[in-house]
Copies of this chain bind each other. A is one copy, B any other.
Amino acid sequence: MSAEKVRARLAGSHLRPIGVIRSTLKSRNNAPKQGSEGAPDAWLEVLPWAMNGLHRLEVGDEIIVITWFHRARRDVLQVHPRSDLRNPLTGVFATRSPDRPNPLGLHPVVVHAIDGSRLRIGPIEAIDGTPVVDIKPTLR
């Protein structure tokens, strides 16, 4: 299959925000690199039009929140993992670097509370204002 044909299948792939992260983490510089590394809980504010998509989601559910790292660099294909020059240069597809061609973030979290259109989730390293593009049940 030609690269052109594959690209054509993504012609309509502009992402729509379904919500946004509201967090005490305000900048990428002081955010943990992974949720499991001391990240806080945060609110996921779901936009009004997408609220019906939450039906039957429950407190205690394990979910994967998919974010878009809107500040990431999309022209990066190799990095030193964890920004540590002692780590050998590695392809971004073998790392969790936010800098990558399509800067999607996967965040496995637990739903701690549901308050109308707001979900209390965590732990999550995404910074305040990060757009959310999807929510899925945890992979099994």
Residues of A within 8 A of B (CB): 1, 3, 5-7, 9-10, 13-20, 22, 36, 45, 47-48, 50, 52-58, 61, 63-64, 66, 68, 70, 74, 77-78, 88-96, 100-102, 104, 106, 108, 129, 131, 133-137, 139-140
Does B53 contact A133, Cβ atoms closer than 8 Å? no
The answer to whether residues A93 and B54 also contact, given A1-B20, A17-B6 and a CB cut-off of 8 A, is yes
Q: Which residues from B are CB-within-8-Å of A101?
A: 16, 18, 50, 53, 133-134
Task: Give Cα distance in the complex from A108 to B138, angstroms.
Answer: 11
Q: Which residues from B are CB-within-8-Å of A95?
A: 136-137
Partner of A7, one of B3, B17, B52, B137: B17
The answer to whether residues A102 and B18 also contact, given A9-B68, A90-B56, A93-B53 and a CB cut-off of 8 A, is yes
Q: Can you list 8 contacts pairing A with B, beta carbon distance less than 8 Å?
A: A6-B19, A9-B129, A9-B131, A10-B16, A55-B78, A56-B90, A66-B102, A66-B104
